[in-house]
Amino acid sequence: MSGAAGTGRTPRAVWIVLAVLGALVVAGLVAWPLGGWDTVTPSSARIPALHTGQLHRGAQLATRIEGAEVGPAYPDGRTPLHGGRVLTVTALVEDLDDAPATATDLAATIVVPGLTAALGDPDIRVASDGTSMGDLGPSVPTRLTLSWRVRTGAYRAGSELELRVIDRRPVESVLSVGTRWVDPRVAALWHGTLAAGPPATPDDAAFGGSGS
C-alpha cells in the first residue's frame, strides 16, 4: 500500500531541479535582448567616469581632476635631473577626515595606469605657490599638482590619458590612535587629453635642473 501511494508523488528533489531550470530560462530570456550573458555586467563592477572638474567624494578625500599635461619641466620650471619629461596632474583635493591626509595618502589617490614611478614620485606641490605638500589639513580644499618623471616619448601632448581615482575604507587602528585606510579600489576613471606642459626656465635648464 505504501509503495503504491508513494508512486503518485513527485520527489522533492525533482521540484528543486525544475525550479532551478525555470529560473535559468527566465534569466536567459531577460539577458537575450541585452546581447546574451557576456554583456550583462553587475552594477557593482561598473566604474563610473569622472569628467574634468567633476567632484568625486570618497570616504577620505574629495577630488576634482582639472587636467593633465606633459612637458620638459615641472610646474615651477625645474627639469628632471636624470633626464626624461614630466607628467603633471592638477587636482583640487579636500581632506574629509578629521585627521590630516599625508603626502602618501595623496599620492595613492590618483594613479596613472602602467606608469612605474621613479623614487619619490609623484612630486606633490601646492599649485598656488609651488611649495612641497606635506600633510593636507581637514576641510581645506587645496589645488595640488602631482608630477611624475616619465621616459621621453612615453606620453605626448594631444594624446589621451586615463587616471584612476582610488578609494579606501576606514578602520580603527589597534596599534596607534587614529584611522587606517585599507582595501584600495578603483572608484572612478578620468579620461582626458594631455596638454603641453611649461617650458624649462633658462637658469634651471643651464644647470641640468634640480628635479628628481
Quickly list DSSP for 48-112: PEE-TT-EEE-SSEEEEEEEEEEESS-TTSPPBTTS-EEEEEEEEEEE-SSSPBPHHHHHTTEE-
Say yes or no: 153 and 182 in one domain.
yes
11 preceded by cis ω (within 30°)?
Answer: no
Q: What is the pLDDT of residue 46?
A: 86
Say yes or no: 117 and 189 in one domain.
yes
**In terms of pLDDT, which residue wins out, 58 or 212?**
58
DSSP 41: -
Residue 45: C-alpha distances to residues 18, 66, 131, 166, 187 (Å): 31, 26, 39, 15, 10
Say yes or no: 8 and 71 in one domain.
no
- 65 near 91, Cβ under 8 Å? yes
Is the model's pLDDT at 120 over the cut of 70?
yes
Contacts of 148 (CB under 8 A, 6+ apart): 86, 87, 88, 112, 115, 117, 118, 121, 122, 123
> How far apart are the C-alpha atoms of 52 and 64, rounded to whole Å?
7
Say yes or no: 104 and 65 in one domain.
yes
Does a structural domain hold residue 65? yes
How many domains would you assign to the chain?
A: 2
The residue behind cell 619629461 is 85
**In terms of pLDDT, which residue wins out, 167 or 36?**
167
pLDDT band (50, 70, 90) for residue 9? low
Does a structural domain hold residue 139? yes
Does a structural domain hold residue 101? yes
Say yes or no: 31 and 72 in one domain.
no
Say yes or no: 130 and 174 in one domain.
yes
pTM over 0.85: no
Comparing 93-107, 158-172, 176-190, the range with the smallest average pLDDT is: 176-190
Mean pLDDT comparison of 19-23, 91-95, 114-118, highest-scoring range: 91-95
pLDDT band (50, 70, 90) for residue 149? very high
Q: Which domain holds residue 24?
A: 2-39
Say yes or no: 104 and 197 in one domain.
yes
Q: What is the CATH number of the domain that holds 120?
A: 2.60.40
- 189 near 50, Cβ under 8 Å? yes
Say yes or no: 22 and 104 in one domain.
no
> How far apart are the C-alpha atoms of 1 and 203, rounded to whole Å?
106
Contacts of 95 (CB under 8 A, 6+ apart): 60, 61, 101, 136, 137, 138, 139, 140
Does a structural domain hold residue 212? no
- 78 near 204, Cβ under 8 Å? yes
Say yes or no: 159 and 180 in one domain.
yes
Say yes or no: 119 and 14 in one domain.
no
pLDDT band (50, 70, 90) for residue 212? very low
